[in-house]
Amino acid sequence: ATKEGEAEQLVKDAIDIGYRHIEPSAMVYQNDKEVGAGIRAKLLMALLENVNIFLTTKLWCTFHRREKVVEACKQSLSTLGFDYLDLYLIHWPCAFKEGDDAWPKDSDGKVITMNVDYVETWKGMEDCFKLGLVKSIGISNFNSQQIERVLQAATIKPAVNQIECHPYLNQSKLIAFCKERGIVITAYSPLGSPNAIAKETTPAPLQDPKLQQLAKKYKKSVAQIILRYLIQHGTVPIPKSSSKKRLQENFDIFNFEISKEDMNTIDALNKNIRICPFSDAKGDINYPFDLEY
């Protein structure tokens, strides 16, 4: 998520730096229009005529019935201003009450869910693929049991599972599980989301003393160490930044390699701490499902 009016310029800056995967963009973030405008503006430039941008967005929880999935996908495409998506993901494996409110709540402030099986939702994702609206489809925040259920019913295998992943939640079991099944892991909140969803009391990977020591050793920033660590574990980290300087810094991670010993040191930092407890701007809500492996 970004502040209003910020996303378009961030996208332009990112493309100038060399980023080609623009993600995440999702209905609930309400920045699709700006993201699409930023991409289109850069694609119109002569220097980028032959450059492909990999565009991803997600299906929100209020569109989980099979017949609503295609509708939601077309709505996102219209807002973005594109004819198709490179990747479309189910944002969470749970359904909310349908309607205009992205976070429908009851009188007690709890999110109102719907009894829609995410396997049914996956069939709607396959419909999007068959209609040519998307080039590939995937999932987000799914655990191993949920993935198995999707695989058993799927005619098209999920290409990606996007999950929270950082040194304090290294997801080693789920990464191995997905790798065995040919599912790519996208790692969101790789730096701990210090300016987004993290609370003041949440342990911050960027402040970890051992990571700071490694940063000095490799003459890199802590953020660069974390991103390189995740890449060497075979994931695709997607850091978010509102600073062009940090965008550049986050991109400068392909000119060094972390040793096996130091990778083990970072592995040992795992605390199974989840920074994204499925919350909205008004506060945490209860998980309607188990997020563990």
At 207, list the tokens. Answer: 């402040």
Beta-bridge partners for 14: none
Catalytic residue, chosen from 29, 84, 218, 293, is 29
Chain-centroid distance, C-alpha 164: 8
Q: 69, 85 in Cβ contact below 8 A?
A: no
User: Residue 249: its pLDDT value, please?
Assistant: 93
Which residue has 């209860």 as its token pair? Answer: 286
Q: 276, 193 in Cβ contact below 8 A?
A: yes
Q: 96, 35 in Cβ contact below 8 A?
A: no
How do 113-114 and 95-96 pair as beta strands? antiparallel
Alpha-carbon distance values, 60 to 36, 70, 96, 238, 290 (Å): 18, 12, 9, 19, 18
Q: 36, 5 in Cβ contact below 8 A?
A: no
User: Residue 196: its pLDDT value, please?
Assistant: 52
Provide the 3-class DSSP secondary structure of residue 228: helix
Helix axes 7-17, 32-43, angle to 10 degrees: 40
User: Residue 24: its pLDDT value, please?
Assistant: 46
Element (H, E) at 36: helix 32-43
User: Residue 282: its pLDDT value, please?
Assistant: 38
Q: 202, 228 in Cβ contact below 8 A?
A: no
Residue spans of alpha helices (H) in the chain: 7-17, 32-43, 66-80, 118-130, 144-153, 172-180, 209-218, 222-232, 244-251, 260-267
Which residue has 């405008």 as its token pair? Answer: 37
User: Residue 195: its pLDDT value, please?
Assistant: 53
Chain-centroid distance, C-alpha 37: 20
- Annotation-wise, does 91 bind a ligand? yes
Which residue has 């890199």 as its token pair? Answer: 220
Q: 269, 263 in Cβ contact below 8 A?
A: no
| pLDDT tens-place values along the chain, 293 residues long | 455 567 788 888 888 888 888 874 556 566 677 777 777 777 766 455 556 788 999 999 999 999 999 999 999 999 888 899 999 999 999 999 999 999 999 998 889 999 999 999 999 999 999 999 999 999 999 999 999 999 999 999 999 999 999 999 999 999 999 999 999 999 999 998 655 555 566 678 999 999 999 999 999 999 999 999 999 999 999 988 778 888 999 999 999 999 999 999 999 999 988 887 664 433 344 444 555 67
Reply yes or no on whether 29 is catalytic. Answer: yes
